[in-house]
Structures are given as C-alpha cells and as structure tokens.
Amino acid sequence: MTGEAKYFAQTSPNNMRNMVKTNIMGVYYGMRYALLEMLKVGSGSIVNLASIAGLNGIPFAGEYGATKHAVVGMTKGAAIEYVTSGIRINAVAPGAILTDILKEAIESGAVTKETLEEIHPMKRLGTVEDIANGIYFLASDECPFMTGVVLPIDGGYTAQ
C-alpha cells in the first residue's frame, strides 16, 4: 500500500506525491489514452484497479485511501461521460491480496498473514486469480448493462 504504516500526520509529503503520481495520474493517463482509441472504434471496456481503501477508511493508509478514492471518482465520472459512446468503465476494489509485495511485508514482519486474514469474513487472503476473474468479467461482454460499478473482491470486507 503506502510503504509507510504511520499516522497520517507522520507521513511524508514525498510519499503522498509518489502515491498521487502512481495511483491517480497513472490511472488518468491510462484511461485518457484508452478512451481516445476507444472513441475511434465506438466501443470498449476499461477496468480500473481501486481498493477497499477507496471505499472505506483503512488505518495507517490515509494517502493510499485518498488516491484510491480518486480512482473510484474517475471511474464513476468517466463512466457517465462515455456511456452513450459504447464504452463501459468499471473498477475492482480488492481486499488484501497475496501479491509479491504483500508476501515481502509478511516475510519482513511488518504484518502477519493471520492478522490480514482476520479482517476478511472469509478468513483468508485473496489471490491474484480472484482479482483477474473479476476484471475478466467486467471487461467481457457478459455484463453489457454494467458501467460505473466498483466491484469489491474482498472476502466480504466491505459487507461488514
């Protein structure tokens, strides 16, 4: 997430700048250029990567949550703007997913796997395949009437 598990007032402005560059500007540029190409053909589907931190507050991850809230806002706003252009825009909001970054955090002792599993009602971490399946569904023609949706893939976290 942030690389800094600190109270908000203890975080560094440089860390926030980096989060904005990656999580907000990265999505902005990706969407902007994809939309320009999709407008030429009159159709398309974009699936952004948000987070449960963009739907709920997450302690010690204020900067990360703020940038993921921005992804949710860009997704929903652009979905409405391009709905009549044949372009659907959605996002997924993963919970704790066992990625290489999370594995490193567990191995370093920064967090325990058990603690992360406990925050999810399913009592397990998600897998990259869980997220890929959600992205595949949202990008597919299986949901042509779905746009502006932020799909939590979080083992029930946001249902609490």
Burial 87-112, CB ≥16 within 10 A → b, else e: bbbbbbbbbbbbeeebeebbeeeeee
Give whole-number Cα distances, 90 to 42, 87, 118, 154, in Å.
17, 10, 28, 16
Check: CB of residue 39 under 8 Å from CB of residue 85: yes
DSSP assignments along 104-115, one per residue: HHHHHTSS-HHH
Pull the structure tokens for residue 85.
Answer: 């252009």
Q: Where are the domains positioned within the chain?
A: 8-153
- pLDDT for the residue 2: 44
- pLDDT for the residue 57: 86
Task: Give the integer Cα–Cα distance in Å for 137 and 27.
Answer: 20
CATH number of 8-153: 3.40.50.720
pLDDT tens for the chain, residues 1 to 160:
545 568 999 999 999 999 999 999 999 999 999 999 999 999 999 999 999 999 998 888 999 999 999 999 999 999 999 999 999 999 999 999 999 999 999 999 989 999 999 999 999 999 999 999 999 999 999 999 999 999 999 999 999 9
Both ends of the chain: CA-CA distance in Å? 21
* Positions marked catalytic: 64
Pull the structure tokens for residue 41.
Answer: 């053909």
